[in-house]
Amino acid sequence: MPIPSPQPQTPPDWRRQLAQAERDPQALLQRLRLPLSLLPAAESAARLFPLRAPEPWVRRIRPGDPDDPLLLQVLPLYAEHETPAGFSTDPVGDGPAQSGPGILHKYHGRVLMITTGACAIHCRYCFRRHFPYSESQAGRNDWADSLAWLDGHPEVDEVILSGGDPLTLSDRRLGTLTRALRQRPQVRRLRLHTRLPVVLPDRVTAELLALLDGPWEVVWVIHSNHAQELDEAVAAALGRLRSAGHWLLNQAVLLRRVNDSADALEALSRRLFQVGVLPYYLHLLDRVQGAAHFEVPEARGQALAAELGARLPGYLVPRLAREEAGEPAKTLVAPAPDAD
Ligand SMILES: *Cc1c(COP(=O)(O)O)cnc(C)c1O
Ligand code: SF4
């Protein structure tokens, strides 16, 4: 009798999607039927910060549209070579704020753990494009250094897993960390700052939910900048999180040509709520070198925030905020009607 051969070990889908993310500018342009005249700039800017765009994201980009808001977040452009005054490589002061290995402790009662340098997508505007991740790996020795830091700070009751993107870690690595955190009753809230539910919704598995479970509230701060990102697969992934009793918030970055209109921001808030997420922050761009072409002037941001306030119920209006080195919290920016 033939012996049934064991099923070949296929990695969970999200791992394959992560591994096979598009890294080649030419392939991306061809796939999206975009003019190859964009290629030299894309190749040269990709040398500053590599292109990375996984399939489930690329699928949501409108082919043939060089102004697509999802394309603009991932396509390297020549403008990234510009180095205007005021744009630095560490605009939010993360270098000096490092309190321990992979630990950023800037705000009272909560601490941010840089769990990995890896991301599933490379967002061209990201302030971490120059961050020296290799020097801030919290994961060494099964997170021993970060956990020792936490044990020395019993007033910290919220642990924020960040990166990079914490959900690019394997379940095994994440599980080691959450098991250790579960033994520390000081941790009342476990927060994840991640783009994965939006970028790779298949990452939200039953196994992931099980390893995040604990004697704490789980708070997700996802990162979506445009309603077009939130398709049905994303909605389903977020639904799984809501069914598990997790809190879902969104932070967006105000980005020129991506979402710098009241219509785009209103649609984002409405769509977020439809999929179970409350708008939290709308960040003014961190002034990082290579991202100047994304900047929206602060006064314009204030005008947009005022317009959103006039159009939406208060709970759908995100807080306009800016990150300033050395401040005890994010700096809130008051909405204001447009001066012109
Ligand atoms: C943004 C941030 C937080 C979280 O701030 P909240 O206002 O609580 O969302 C915490 N730590 C660091 C280092 C941060 O940059
Ligand atoms: S840290 Fe967040 S914003 Fe920056 S590249 Fe990674 S996923 Fe994008």
**DSSP code at position 82:** -
Q: Is 112 in the pocket of ligand 1 (CB under 6 A)?
A: yes
Report residues of the chain scoring pLDDT below 70.
Answer: 1-11, 94-97, 131-138, 339-340
- What is the pLDDT at residue 241? 98
Q: Is 247 in the pocket of ligand 1 (CB under 6 A)?
A: no
What's the 337 CA to ligand 2 centre distance in angstroms?
31
Yes or no: say if 266 and 308 are a contact pair by the CB < 8 Å rule: yes
- What is the pLDDT at residue 127? 86
Binding residues: 119, 123, 126
Strand partners, 295: none
Q: Give me the domains of the chain, ranges plus CATH numbers.
A: 18-81 (no CATH), 94-332 (3.20.20.70)
Give the start-end residues of each E strand in the chain: 98-100, 103-104, 110-114, 158-162, 189-194, 217-223, 247-253, 278-283, 319-322, 331-332
Report pTM: 0.94
Q: Is 189 in the pocket of ligand 1 (CB under 6 A)?
A: no
217 in helix, strand or coil? strand
Q: How far apart are CA 260 and CA 118, in angstroms?
A: 28
Quick one: which ligand is closest to 327's CA? 1
Yes or no: say if 278 and 293 are a contact pair by the CB < 8 Å rule: no
**CB-facing half-sphere around the CA of 1: CA atoms within 13 A:** 2
Binding residues for [4Fe-4S] cluster: 119, 123, 126
Quick one: which ligand is closest to 51's CA? 2
Q: Is 319 in the pocket of ligand 1 (CB under 6 A)?
A: no
DSSP assignment string, 285-318: PP-BTT-GGG---HHHHHHHHHHHHHHS-GGG-P
Mutate to test the pocket of ligand 2, among 122, 123, 196, 259 (most ligand atoms within 8 A of CB): 123
Q: Is 249 in the pocket of ligand 1 (CB under 6 A)?
A: no
Give the number of other Cβ atoms within 10 Å of residue 149's Cβ: 20
**Strand 103-104 and strand 110-114: pairing?**
antiparallel
Q: Over the stretch 257-285, which tens digit does the pLDDT of each residue have?
A: 999 999 999 999 999 999 999 999 999 99
- What is the pLDDT at residue 96? 64
What's the 5 CA to ligand 2 centre distance in angstroms?
42
Quick one: which ligand is closest to 119's CA? 2
What's the 10 CA to ligand 1 centre distance in angstroms?
37
Instruction: Give Cα separations from 230 to 53, 159, 236, 247 (angstroms).
Output: 16, 27, 10, 17
Q: Is 110 in the pocket of ligand 1 (CB under 6 A)?
A: yes
